[in-house]
Structure 1
Amino acid sequence: TMYQKVEAMRLAIEKLDTSASGVNLQVTASFGISNSLESGYDPAMLLTHADLALFKAKNKGRNQTVVYHEKMASD
């Protein structure tokens, strides 16, 4: 599924060796996913819903993948 692919990317980013010049940085990523079944095939709506899911991921503590669902529009 798309969720599994995106989650694999998130985990790969988290595991990156980002040490340089004696400084170790922790790099993480948050992702928001929307799909055409809930969002329709309108590109603007797909982006809006993905953005809402990303906002939810960041509010839940970051470093995670969240899939849009209709309830997010009313949150």
Structure 2
Amino acid sequence: MTGLLYVPERVRGETPGVLFVYGHARPAKAYPLYQKVCIDLVRNDFVVLAIDPIGQGERLQYWNPRREIIR
């Protein structure tokens, strides 16, 4: 699974976390607005794990009907 882990500079003890699953933008974690949201969360002392859903970002897949495979 591909993704980014955003960690505040000063983590002290237990820290709240967010699993950020991107919406409808094909670039997923590379989409500037999503990156801004994650950075804003980190600035407010959240650890953020932002993953690429299947079919987006580095997990983009295409169906090849001739070979009947996904690439």
Q: Same fold (TM over 0.5)?
A: no
Which of the two has greater strand per residue?
2
Instruction: Considering Cα pairs closer than 8 Å and 6+ residues apart, tell me whether 1 or 2 has the greater RCO.
Output: 2
Which of the two has greater helix per residue?
1
Structure with higher Rg: it is 2
TM-score, scaled to structure 1: 0.30
